[in-house]
């Protein structure tokens, strides 16, 4: 169930833009994303941010990773709003979206959430670009296996498409099997403050490190625990079925028909860029490595994401 404070938080976002402050500096806001909720069925209601444009050239749907919320896309959505309709939502278990006990939080289940969101929002698939990072990328690709027309194109980055633990950070490796997974879950919940403060800085030199705008950071902190289930708990459940769903993608890779592009941060310490290189090679997808960028290109260099989208859609 949604928390009782949801209405007030959404109102604050819509009026002050508090949770939509740009994650990076220098972005020019062409339009401010509007906060609302959308019920997609069952026990799931999603918080979303939308930039409406009646003359849009197309639609872009941004999908966040761990431990983020949809608010991290605020500056990028605003910058692209002059030409496109832009959507972003919180995954179940993150931000202010629902956290039902009977939901599996697996990549395959997130694929179902993504399909339901696109359908309920009335998005024209033929004009849709999905930009999915980290935990969002595998669900987007799994959905594309079942429905190749789900989007005109999918951009993915900094994720683990295949079961290659050697290319993953030790903590992520530990989440793939018990008993290490439960121990890692407990540690992550105990150290949530440190994770939210530093997860996006790790692997970067001191002069490359950056901070999030206060509103974005506050939204991530608030979104970590919205009810009994934390974002670390959702992450744990995601990984409980991660290997199964990675294997599903790899076994059916030849059936992937939706055009895909791969973008990776050169200094990503969580998922080695060799993972992205293998996926790109096997799918024939373009592969761009961003020099000096870590696991969160959209936070560290949002202007590059904006430029990438514009180049693809114009």
pLDDT of residue 4 exceeding 80, the answer is no
pLDDT at 30: 55
pLDDT band at 185 (very low <50, low <70, confident <90, very high): very high
Q: How many domains does the chain have?
A: 1
pLDDT of residue 11 exceeding 80, the answer is no
ω into 305 cis (within 30 of 0):
no
**163 lies in some domain:** yes
**99 lies in some domain:** yes
DSSP string of the chain, one letter each residue? ---TTHHHHHHHHHHH-GGG--SSSS---SSPPEEEEEEEETTEEEEEEEE--TT-S-EEEEE--TT--GGGGHHHHHHHTTTSEEEEEPPTTSTTS---TT----HHHHHHHHHHHHHHHT--GGGEEEEEEGGGHHHHHHHHHH-GGG-SEEEEESS--S--GGGB-HHHHHTTSTTHHHHHHHHHHHTHHHHHHHTTTTTS-GGG-----HHHHHHHHHHHBSSSSBHHHHHHHHHHTHHHHHHHHHHTGGG--S-EEEEEETT-SSB-HHHHHHHHHHHT--EEEETT--S-HHHH-HHHHHHHHHHHH-
Whether this prediction's pTM lies above 0.85 is answered by yes
**1 lies in some domain:** no
The per-residue pLDDT of the chain, averaged, comes to 90
**67 lies in some domain:** yes
pLDDT at 21: 33
* Domain around 266: 6-313
> If you count them, how many residues does the chain have?
314
The pLDDT tens digits of the residues spanning 137-177 come to: 999 999 999 999 999 999 999 999 999 999 999 999 999 99
pLDDT at 46: 98
**145 lies in some domain:** yes
**10 lies in some domain:** yes
Percent over 90 (pLDDT), the chain:
86
Report the distance separating Cα 227 and Cα 98, nearest Å: 9
Query: Is there a contact between 68 and 231 (Cβ–Cβ < 8 Å)?
Result: no
**277 lies in some domain:** yes
**Range of weakest confidence among 28-42, 189-203, 226-240:** 28-42
- What CATH number does residue 76 fall under? 3.40.50.1820
pLDDT of residue 23 exceeding 60, the answer is no
The pLDDT tens digits of the residues spanning 266-282 come to: 999 999 999 999 999 99
């Amino acid at each position: 169930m949604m928390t009782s404070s949801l209405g007030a938080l959404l109102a604050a976002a819509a009026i002050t833009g508090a949770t939509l402050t740009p994650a990076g500096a220098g972005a020019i806001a062409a339009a401010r994303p509007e906060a609302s909720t959308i019920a997609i069925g069952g026990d799931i209601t999603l918080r979303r941010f939308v930039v409406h444009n009646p003359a849009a050239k197309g639609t872009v749907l941004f999908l966040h990773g761990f431990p983020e919320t949809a608010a991290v896309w605020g500056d990028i959505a605003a910058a692209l709003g002059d030409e496109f309709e832009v959507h972003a939502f919180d995954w179940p278990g993150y931000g202010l979206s629902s956290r039902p006990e009977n939901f599996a939080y697996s990549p395959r289940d997130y694929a179902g959430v993504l399909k339901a969101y696109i359908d309920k929002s009335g998005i024209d698939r033929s004009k849709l670009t999905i930009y999915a990072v980290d935990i969002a990328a595998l669900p987007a690709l799994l959905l594309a296996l079942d429905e190749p027309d789900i989007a005109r194109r999918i951009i993915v980055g900094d994720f683990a498409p295949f079961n290659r633990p050697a290319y993953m950070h030790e903590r992520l490796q530990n989440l793939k099997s018990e008993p290490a997974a439960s121990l890692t879950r407990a540690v992550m919940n105990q150290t949530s403050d440190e994770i939210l403060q530093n997860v996006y800085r790790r692997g970067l030199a001191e002069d490359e490190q950056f901070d999030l705008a206060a509103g974005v950071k506050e939204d991530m902190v608030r979104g970590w625990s919205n009810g009994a289930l934390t974002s670390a708990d959702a992450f744990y459940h995601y990984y409980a079925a991660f290997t199964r769903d990675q294997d599903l993608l790899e076994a059916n890779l030849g059936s992937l028909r939706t055009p895909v592009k791969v973008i990776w941060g050169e200094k990503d310490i969580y998922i080695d860029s060799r993972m992205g290189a293998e996926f790109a090679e096997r799918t024939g997808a373009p592969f761009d490595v961003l020099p000096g960028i870590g696991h969160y290109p959209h936070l560290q260099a949002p202007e590059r994401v904006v430029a990438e989208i514009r180049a693809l859609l114009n």
